[in-house]
Amino acid sequence: MEIERTVKLRSGYEIPVLAIGTWQTPNEIASRVVQDAIEVGYRHIDTASAYKNEEGVGQGIKKANIDRSKLFVTTKVPAEVKTYEETKKVIDESLEKLDLEYIDLVLIHAPKPWAVMFLPITKNYDKANLEVWKAMIEAKEAGKIRSIGVSNFKIKDIENLINNSTEVPEVNQIQIHIGKVNTELINYCKEKNIVVEAYSPMGTGRLIKNKKIKEIADKYNVSVPQLCIKYTLDLDTVSLPKTTHKEYMILNKEVDFEIKKEDKETLDNMKFLL
């Protein structure tokens, strides 16, 4: 079953290929969401300092009353944090808020602060990212973190870390969904033994009402979200669907079906969704 499948990171730890995402999940309901997710079978919980729900996520883990070793918890250093000292501080804060002895995976949330992420600016953040990376490596060596990686990084951003440090990122979490597949970046990561994670597999909900996708989903007697999640899994990525509803959590993990070659080709060619 896909919900039970894992892949091995370079650190040797196993990461479940299906996670419950918690973006835009308010802190006051995060505990219930995480408990529900664990109850129905999810073992990978994805959060971030920027989501402002780490306390709720941590409470949910505790209330779920499950052996910590059976869970894989991911959080992220905010995109705005670009110094060594700030990174050390935010990692310790995440550990405190999650109330965990260690975090399974910590990512740099983005190579640039969000305020300038999509602007045509000339400022270079390569040195700043190396400072963040240095602090993350030290936290890993100290046992606070088990694995480290990045999010929203392009090839040049990853090359900066590889060429100027002792560690290669173990994960790159990027937006991937039907109509938005950066094949070049995915293939690059695979060559470097970097596990790719697909966030927003439903295109932040924009794919739900697509008639062509619905038509293909109906062929398999599955929902559009199920088809979207399976599509990302078939790209050999870790899929991060997000929902706060228990009934959808259950549906989203029922993805043990095969997408036929001709349907996959149709989905691959939906470039208009980029």
CA dihedral (167, 173, 178, 182) in degrees, to 10, reads -40
Contact 125, 112 (CB under 8 A): yes
Going by C-alpha positions, the residue among 213, 200, 181, 214 that lies closest to residue 242 is: 200
H or E stretch at 12: none
Cα(274)–Cα(175) distance, integer angstroms: 11
Which one of the listed residues 51, 125, 199, 231 is annotated catalytic?
A: 51
- Residue 51: active-site member: yes
- What is the rounded CA–CA span in Å between residue 75 and residue 100? 12
What does the alpha-carbon distance between residue 172 and residue 125 come to, in Å, rounded to a whole number?
A: 18
From the CA atom positions of the chain, what is the Rg in Å?
Answer: 18
Long-range contacts of 153-162 (CB under 8 A, 24+ apart): 153/108, 153/110, 153/111, 154/111, 154/185, 155/184, 155/185, 155/188, 157/111, 157/126, 157/129, 158/188, 158/189, 158/192, 158/194, 160/126, 160/129, 160/130, 161/129, 161/130, 161/133, 162/192
Residues labelled as active-site residues: 51
